[in-house]
Each structure stands twice: as structure tokens, then as C-alpha cells.
């Protein structure tokens, strides 16, 4: 899948986010909405329902299971972006296999909203700040109850639906199910959002 496929209809056999069933899905109107070291995120439209979705495409190491996929398949919470389907696809080189996560699409992020207020020399109204923080804490309480640590909390990973005010935590690429007594690397999380105890090696 590429941005040059924007007008094409792509049909794949995908696994449902929950359970072990598969389903043929078709999508079109593809455009890039984000990219980074992890891969690329596309916006697309499912042909059968006209639903707008996000498709996160990441290179899959054949030697390992994808931790993000494993974690997202067990999560079900109103403040966490939902995994609808997933499928694998071969890249331009036959040895390259890409994992595609089909996620619910949420149009905004806390980062972009905050930037708009800053450009207007304003601050986010306190009622909105409280609403967003409450929902963030709900999502964190939920994943922590399952022994999962997100490890990359930042405004860019907090999705917002402006029409409803609903916040959803996304991007579990750095997340990990913690095991008691098992050490974890401290060099994790985006640098400018890293906790002081991680920076100073106090954990």
C-alpha cells in the first residue's frame, strides 16, 4: 500500500481485532496522515461501510511476534483506539513483510489542538484540560490493571474527536506487558516527555 494507491480499491483477507476469524475487506481513498521511525499511518475508507479508518503500516521482523499487535488485541476501552482488523503484506522486496493495523480513525490530537491555542496566544480552557486528563487517566488505569505500560505518553499520542470531546490513547509500539522481577530498559519514551526518574536512572 502506498499513497500512489489513493484512488485504487485494495482488497485483503484480514483478521479481526478480536477472536480468530478472518474477513475480506476492501478500502480506498488512501492518503498519508503520519510517518516516523515506526512506519507510516494512512487514512482510508472501508468500501462496504464507508467508515473512515487509520491503517498503521510497520515493517515486521519475521523472527519475533509484534508486541503492539499482541497488546492491542487484548485491549477494549472507550479511551483507547480500537483495533478493527490486521493483515500482513509483502513489500517491494519479497523478504520484507509489513504488518498493517486497521484502527478506528480519530481526526485530531491534543498536540495539534494545543498548538492552535498557542498560535492564538490563548490557553486551553480548564474544563477541556480536566476532561482530557480525566480520560487519559482512565485509559492508563485500564492498561495498568492489565499489567501493561505504554512507555510513550505524549500529546501526539492522545487522539481527540472534536465533535464529542472523547480522547483516545494510541500508538502502543513502545508498550510492554511488565513481568514482576524482570528488568526493563530505561531508554524508552520520546526524549522530551521522558520522566525525570528515567533520565537520571533512578528506577
End-to-end CA distance of the chain: 41
Count helices and strands in the chain by DSSP H and E runs? 4, 11
Give yes or no on whether 3-104 and 108-199 have one common fold: no
**CA angle, 108 as apex, 107 and 110 as ends, to 5°?**
160
Lookup: cell for 27: 478500502
| Count of all residues that appear for the chain in the document | 203
Does 21 carry a binding-site annotation?
no
Catalytic residue flag (residue 152): yes
Name the catalytic one among 2, 5, 29, 152: 152
Which tens digits make up the pLDDT trace of 18-70?
A: 888 999 999 999 999 998 777 899 999 999 999 999 999 999 877 677 999 99
Report the CATH fold assignment for 3-104.
Phosphorylase Kinase; domain 1 (3.30.200)
Superfamily of domain 108-199 in the CATH hierarchy? Transferase(Phosphotransferase) domain 1 (1.10.510.10)
Chain segment 133-159, per-residue pLDDT in tens: 999 999 999 999 999 999 999 999 999
- Cα–Cα distances in angstroms (integers) from residue 57 to residues 9, 41, 186, 201, in the given order: 17, 6, 26, 33
Which sequence spans correspond to the domains of the chain?
A: 3-104, 108-199
Amino acid at each position: 500500500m502506498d499513497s500512489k494507491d489513493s484512488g485504487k480499491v485494495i482488497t485483503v483477507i484480514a483478521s479481526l481485532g478480536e477472536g480468530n476469524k478472518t474477513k475480506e475487506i476492501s478500502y480506498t481513498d488512501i492518503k498519508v496522515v503520519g510517518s516516523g521511525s515506526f512506519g507510516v499511518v494512512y487514512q482510508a475508507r472501508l468500501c462496504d461501510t464507508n467508515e473512515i479508518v487509520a491503517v498503521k503500516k510497520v515493517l515486521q521482523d519475521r523472527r519475533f511476534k509484534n508486541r503492539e499487535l499482541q497488546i492491542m488485541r487484548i485491549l477494549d476501552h472507550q479511551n483507547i483506539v480500537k483495533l478493527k482488523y490486521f493483515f500482513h503484506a509483502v513489500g517491494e522486496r519479497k523478504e520484507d513483510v509489513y504488518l498493517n493495523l486497521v484502527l478506528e480513525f480519530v481526526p485530531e490530537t491534543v498536540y495539534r489542538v494545543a498548538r492552535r491555542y498557542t498560535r492564538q496566544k490563548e490557553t486551553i480552557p480548564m474544563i477541556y484540560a480536566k476532561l482530557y486528563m480525566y480520560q487519559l487517566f482512565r485509559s492508563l488505569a485500564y492498561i495498568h490493571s492489565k499489567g501493561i505500560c505504554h512507555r510513550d505518553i505524549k500529546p501526539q499520542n492522545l487522539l481527540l474527536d472534536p465533535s464529542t470531546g472523547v480522547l483516545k490513547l494510541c500508538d502502543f509500539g513502545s508498550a510492554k506487558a511488565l513481568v514482576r522481577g524482570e528488568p526493563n530498559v530505561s531508554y524508552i519514551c520520546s526524549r522530551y516527555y521522558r520522566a525525570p526518574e528515567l533520565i537520571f536512572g533512578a528506577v
